[in-house]
Amino acid sequence: MNVERAVSLLAAWLPHQRWFAGKNEPIGAVRTVAATSLREADPEVWHLLVEVVQGDRREIYQVPVSFRDVPDGRLDHVLVGEAEGRYAYDALHDKDATAELLHRFDAQDRVDGLSFHTEPGAELPLGEPSLVLTAEQSNTSLAYGDAALLKVFRRVVPGVNPDIEVHDALTRGGSEYVAPLLGWLEGRWVSPSGERQEAGLAMLQAFLVTATDGWALATTSVRDLYAEADLHADEVGGDFAGESQRLGLATAEVHSAMAEVLPTRVFGPVDLRALAGRMRARLEAAVVTVPELTPYAPSLAGSFDRLAGLGRPVPAQRIHGDYHLGQVVRTVVGWKLVDFEGEPAKPLIERVALDSPIRDVAAMLRSFDYAARHLLVVDHPGSDQIAYRAAEWADRNRAAFCEGYAKATGHDPRDDDVLLRAYETDKVVYEAVYEARNRPGWLAIPLAGAESLATGTGL
């Protein structure tokens, strides 16, 4: 079997991969965009970029493949296919192939259109076996021992990769709140339509040993509170406010670092009116999809009117863009922020657009609300007592987060109430649409948020 034969097998294999975005449409064709040989000895390793055509849609995917003459039972679950007595596997699961990738980083190799880069002074865990982590949805990440993590971006969008760009900038700036970048893989190719294109393809960073994500920690605290009938949020053992405060501080430090090393600008009255206009348009569209929002809509729109008329300049900078408790991890040396790709569903240009850091703050405040209420909708529907506790938990931790943020910047985000409320409202509107489409059972969470924003009982 050769590369072309392997590519021909992908049409049947791709729809079964978790990271493949086009599952609900038949594949018209899979074409090779670039193929680079990384290893000739068995297993032979090829780095492939392929274009998947589905109707009008054309997407580029990254699919490294290894070929073996003898089938390897441990790789059965990632067999792409068999032909002419050779077996093709997803190379990211093949330890011989992943060791080759690490060696290429170490040598800072350039081969065909691929360039492997390393940060100055980075130490690579050569010789450590890799293991693919199971949690991920849209990419494939593998850990080399407990020293390094290689995140391979499966769906390739031409242009600067924000995750690599931000990690690179923050690592060079010495930020202690992200996992340091060790290296990255860049690719250049000519598209089937004849265009020269390039993109960041993979990112190698320090592995955060013993880390747990913020969502798991926060919901542990919430469960603890729900188990107490008569104690308040500040009285139970599992109180999370200390962690929330430290998280606020870490967030502010990362924002400051990003403002220092990446571009900034200022939103003037025109920008703010345009921003408010986009928010209002999203609300109007949302009311159509989620009629339950209708009673709150006039009041919610009021937040956007106040934003449009704010009458003072607002600093804008690169932000996280898809910030929530699942994007922060607690390690033994404090909180770290991960995943600076921005919201995956948005086009690249919007993901790297400058915005107020208050958008991230608002998104995290919404995430606290989710953490407080999600068990309510799942396990305790209709319990007023627990709903009251949930509100208490959310209020306490949202306030602690803002206090921590203020501790680092000297500026409490709650003082920017017009901005904060507009961004939070925009987020609630987005959540309502998302839940109505994907998890109707959870719609109650953003609706409760919309109600409290509309009636002014929030922060």
Q: Which is nearer to another protein, 187 or 404 (CB)?
A: 404
The DSSP result for 19-53, as a single string, is T-S-TTS---EEEEEEEEEEE-SSSEEEEEEEEEE
Pick the binder of another protein from 180, 238, 269, 344 (CB under 8 A).
238
According to CB under 8 A, which residues from 140 to 169 bind another protein? 145-146
Give the per-residue contact string, 385-414, with another protein (x = CB under 8 A; - = no).
Answer: ------------------------------
What is the rounded distance in angstroms from the CA atom of residue 25 to the CA atom of residue 15? Answer: 9
Pick the binder of another protein from 223, 265, 411, 439 (CB under 8 A).
223
What is the rounded distance in angstroms from the CA atom of residue 273 to the CA atom of residue 149? Answer: 42
CA triple 108-109-112, angle to 5 deg: 150
Pick the binder of another protein from 239, 253, 322, 341 (CB under 8 A).
239
209 binds another protein (CB under 8 A): yes
What is the rounded distance in angstroms from the CA atom of residue 181 to the CA atom of residue 168? Answer: 6
CB of 429 to another protein, least distance (A): 32
What is the rounded distance in angstroms from the CA atom of residue 278 to the CA atom of residue 430? Answer: 12
What is the rounded distance in angstroms from the CA atom of residue 102 to the CA atom of residue 108? Answer: 10
CB 218 within 8 A of CB 365: no
By rule CB under 8 A, what count of residues binds another protein?
A: 24
126 binds another protein (CB under 8 A): no
For residue 36 the two structure tokens come to 């680079």
Beta bridge partners of 35: 48
CB of 208 to another protein, least distance (A): 9
- Whether a cis peptide bond, with omega within 30° of 0, leads into 43 is yes
CB of 234 to another protein, least distance (A): 9
Q: What share of the chain is helix, strand, coil (3-state, %, to 5)?
A: 45, 25, 30
220 binds another protein (CB under 8 A): yes
211 binds another protein (CB under 8 A): yes
Q: Which is nearer to another protein, 231 or 459 (CB)?
A: 231
Q: Which is nearer to another protein, 211 or 387 (CB)?
A: 211
According to CB under 8 A, which residues from 322 to 381 bind another protein? 330, 332-333
Q: Which is nearer to another protein, 3 or 132 (CB)?
A: 132
Interface positions with another protein (CB under 8 A): 129, 131, 134, 145-146, 209-212, 216-217, 220-221, 223-224, 227, 235, 237-239, 242, 330, 332-333
